[in-house]
Amino acid sequence: AFEVTLEKSGKTVTVPEDRSILEALRDEGVATVSSCESGTCGTCKTKLISGDVDHRDMVLMDHEQADHIMICVSRAKDGDLVLDL
């Protein structure tokens, strides 16, 4: 598991191994937008403030990976993440 801190709402949510970031946020009542939930549509694109991301989507261009994350499939690689939510 790892933690995701939401910079704007001041919340911190734990993401278990068997849940996506998107699911974990939804469980906590955080409003999110999604569609495919398989890393292909681009709907759940979220701005990343800090953290080391394990990108698992098919959407982000190389130059976007430094500051964006697709929260339906991607995870923290090491440590925790801070998102602009």
Q: Give the residues lining the site for ligand FES (CB under 6 A).
A: 34-37, 39-44, 57, 59, 70, 72
**Least distance from C-beta 55 to ligand FES, angstroms?**
11
User: Closer CB to ligand FES, residue 35 or residue 50?
Assistant: 35
User: Closer CB to ligand FES, residue 10 or residue 63?
Assistant: 63
Residue 42 phi, psi (nearest 5) = 95, -5
**Least distance from C-beta 58 to ligand FES, angstroms?**
8
Q: What is the b/e burial string over 69-79, where b = at least 16 CB atoms within 10 angstroms of the residue's CB?
A: bbbbbbbbeee
Alpha-carbon torsion 7, 9, 15, 20, what sign? negative
